[in-house]
Amino acid sequence: MASHPRVWSFIPTFVTLQFEVPPALAYKQHVSNDASEPIINAGTRYCAVLGHPVAHSASPAMQNAGLAALGLNWRYLAFDVHPDHLRPAIEGAKRMGFIGLNLTVPHKLLALDMVDVVDDHAKIWKAVNTIVFETRASSGPWIPVGVTETTVGQKVRSRGFNTDADALVQALKEAFKLENLQGVSVLLLGAGGAARAAALRLAREGVGKLHLVNRTKTRANELVADLTRDCPGVVAIQGYPSARVDLVINATSLGLKGEDPLPIDLQWLQAHRPPFVYDMIYRPMETGLLRAARKAGCQIANGAGMLLYQGTRALELWTGRPAPVGVMRAALEKNLYG
Ligand code: NDP
């Protein structure tokens, strides 16, 4: 017989039952193998990422490192939530006193209609990736529940934010040592949720020209129309530029799998050799696009910086305190790249 831990259950008659407990279900006092971490107790508070799927997410490693560094008795969990169940999941987290949530694929757009209040930026970028649960005492201002002791019996509302777009700008500046992006010309690959947020945010940052290339041209055209209407300072054009641009950004999902074709016309890349190429994808560490760009002599960076800064900004919204960026970066890199 295997040496599994045993749980004995005594029924107050004459029968004694013995259950085998598989090792995976054996009681563990600690949530990790690091015994130096404080244990979960009745005072522990929770944040979480909801996605479908979510098993690949690096956010728990990054955020739990940040929470521990801040000395908070909070934990960051991950839940695989089917899109059909997103609304009750958000509502349940609100009712159970969660501090906040992150949302990942495919929930960012859906959540726009599921939170009580949408922050202005999330409205503009048309995506919610961070929810802050807020409370108010009587007629006072709404404040994050994370800065209060308890919300039991108080009003709580969910407020949707988008930290992805600001994170991209911060990551670009850091990766390529750019003080600002004013006047920079950009070739943006993709017209999905991430590309849309990037385009609108880059336009606000003062980029000069934005060239948009997408498999489905109508989506790129729609984005060009929105940019032209809402951001008169930027010149938005559908299709490849005939001249060199300063920066190429991949916001398509091409590159996630090793066998994916390049998201860019290789001949264009080799002919124009843009100084900076950024791929929003962070796993694998070097995508086919980044490899080709590096070989063409471009400076390259992957999406890990964007992932880091969307997370640090979310943590700051929940806690009202500066995020421990160095600790979170180290935990993220360890989780992503070992
Ligand atoms: P969406 O599903 O909204 O958009 C996907 C984009 O990829 C669309 O432009 C789509 O084109 C294009 N695409 C998908 N498959 C193909 C294909 N076979 N050939 C050509 N184009 C294709 O996803 P998101 O915008 O949310 O995410 C895009 C990428 O950005 C993902 O790789 C995601 O991991 C990454 N990302 C990274 C973040 C970070 O923190 N680093 C944050 C957010 C996203 P079409 O319109 O024709 O369908």
Indicate which residue's Cα is closest to atom 12 of ligand 1.
Answer: 252
Q: Is 99 helix (H, G, I), strand (E, B) or coil?
A: coil
> Does residue 108 have an active-site annotation?
yes
- Residues 143, 136 contacting (CB under 8 angstroms): yes
pLDDT band at 145 (very low <50, low <70, confident <90, very high): very high
Which residues lie closer than 8 Å to 88 by C-beta, 6 or more apart?
Answer: none
Indicate which residue's Cα is closest to atom 40 of ligand 1.
Answer: 307
Rounded distance, CA 275 to CA 297, Å? Answer: 8
Q: How far is CA 317 from CA 132, 163, 264, 327, in A?
A: 7, 10, 36, 18
Q: How is 296-325 classified by DSSP, letter by letter?
A: TT-EEE-THHHHHHHHHHHHHHHHSS---H
Choose the catalytic residue: 28, 94, 108, 173.
108
Give the sign of the dihedral formed by CA 172, CA 178, CA 182, CA 184: negative
Strand partners, 187: 211, 248
Kind plus residue range of the DSSP H or E element containing 278 = strand 276-279
- Residues 227, 234 contacting (CB under 8 angstroms): yes
**pLDDT 10s digits, 309-323:** 999 999 999 999 999
Rounded distance, CA 69 to CA 207, Å? Answer: 36
pLDDT of residue 24 exceeding 90: no
For ligand 1, say whether the CB of 191 is within 6 Å of any of its atoms. Answer: yes
Residue whose C-alpha is closest to residue 129's, from 142, 118, 138: 118
pLDDT confidence of residue 36: 59
Both tokens assigned to 52: 């479908």
Q: At what angle do helices 325-337 and 304-319 cross, to 10 degrees?
A: 140
Q: What distance in angstroms lies between residue 199's CA and the mean position of ligand 1's atoms? A: 13
- Residues 325, 106 contacting (CB under 8 angstroms): no
pLDDT confidence of residue 31: 46
Q: Of the residues 252, 282, 328, which should be mutated to test ligand 1's pocket, given the most ligand atoms within 8 Å of the CB?
A: 252
**Ligand 1 atom closest to 255 (CA):** 32
- Residues 132, 317 contacting (CB under 8 angstroms): yes
Percent of the chain with pLDDT over 70: 88
For ligand 1, say whether the CB of 218 is within 6 Å of any of its atoms. Answer: no
**pLDDT 10s digits, 191-207:** 988 999 999 999 999 99
Q: What distance in angstroms lies between residue 83's CA and the mean position of ligand 1's atoms? A: 18
pLDDT of residue 35 exceeding 80: no
249-278 mean pLDDT: 96
For ligand 1, say whether the CB of 166 is within 6 Å of any of its atoms. Answer: no
What predicted TM-score, i.e. pTM, was given to this entire model? 0.89
What number of residues does the chain have?
A: 338
Both tokens assigned to 45: 């508070």
Phi, psi of 151 (to 5 degrees): -120, 5
Residue whose C-alpha is closest to residue 40's, from 67, 77, 69, 74: 74
